[in-house]
Amino acid sequence: MLTPHQALTVAVRLFAIIVALYVLREMAAFFIADVDQKDGFPAIAVVFTVLTVILVIVLWFFPRSIARNLLPLSSDTPAPPSQPDAWIAAGASLIGLWLIADALPGLMRNSLLMLLFRSEPMDMSGLRSGLLYYGLRFIVGVALLFGANGIKRLIVWARYAGSD
């Protein structure tokens, strides 16, 4: 059985893979869609790609450090099965990672499209609403990821609130 730190380590690496696949897909689409763009399109895409590759490398090579920062300290040796309360924090962190991984490519895509086509006379309302949607998903994901212990305490409090 995996400890919460081991499970989160696996999730961080899966998150790195998902982000890498999304960025490869989105950047390929940007370059294929309109290579003739004169407003610095390739430079912006290259900068975002390089930053994302650095993020993926950090996530891939340092997942234990990230897991130790997100979850309370425990020993790295396999422990006996933990209480369900300990898994609540790990589950909230995993859901937060998934939301962030799902929202990040949409945020990048909509932001870049709005930046690239800012001078074009076109309706940007769909991009703005998409940016708001992905932004809210990203914020909820970050709240779940970094507030996992607080969520665990809230659930434990709610469970035992009426009993004395």
Provide the residue-wise pLDDT of the chain in tens; the chain has 164 residues: 667 778 788 888 888 888 888 787 777 777 666 555 555 556 777 787 888 889 899 988 988 888 888 777 655 555 566 666 667 777 777 888 888 888 888 888 888 888 887 777 777 788 888 899 999 999 998 888 887 777 777 777 777 777 75
Kindly write down the DSSP assignment for every residue of the chain, as one continuous string.
---HHHHHHHHHHHHHHHHHHHHHHHHHHHHHH-TT--SSHHHHHHHHHHHHHHHHHHHHH-HHHHHHHHS----SS--SPPPHHHHHHHHHHHHHHHHHHHHHHHHHHHHHHHHHTTTS-S--HHHHHHHHHHHHHHHHHHHHHHTHHHHHHHHHHHHTSS--
Whether 155 is covered by a domain: the verdict is yes
Whether 79 is covered by a domain: the verdict is yes
Instruction: State the total domains in the chain.
Output: 1
Whether 44 is covered by a domain: the verdict is yes
Whether 24 is covered by a domain: the verdict is yes
Whether 164 is covered by a domain: the verdict is no
Whether 88 is covered by a domain: the verdict is yes
- Full domain range(s) for residue 148: 4-159
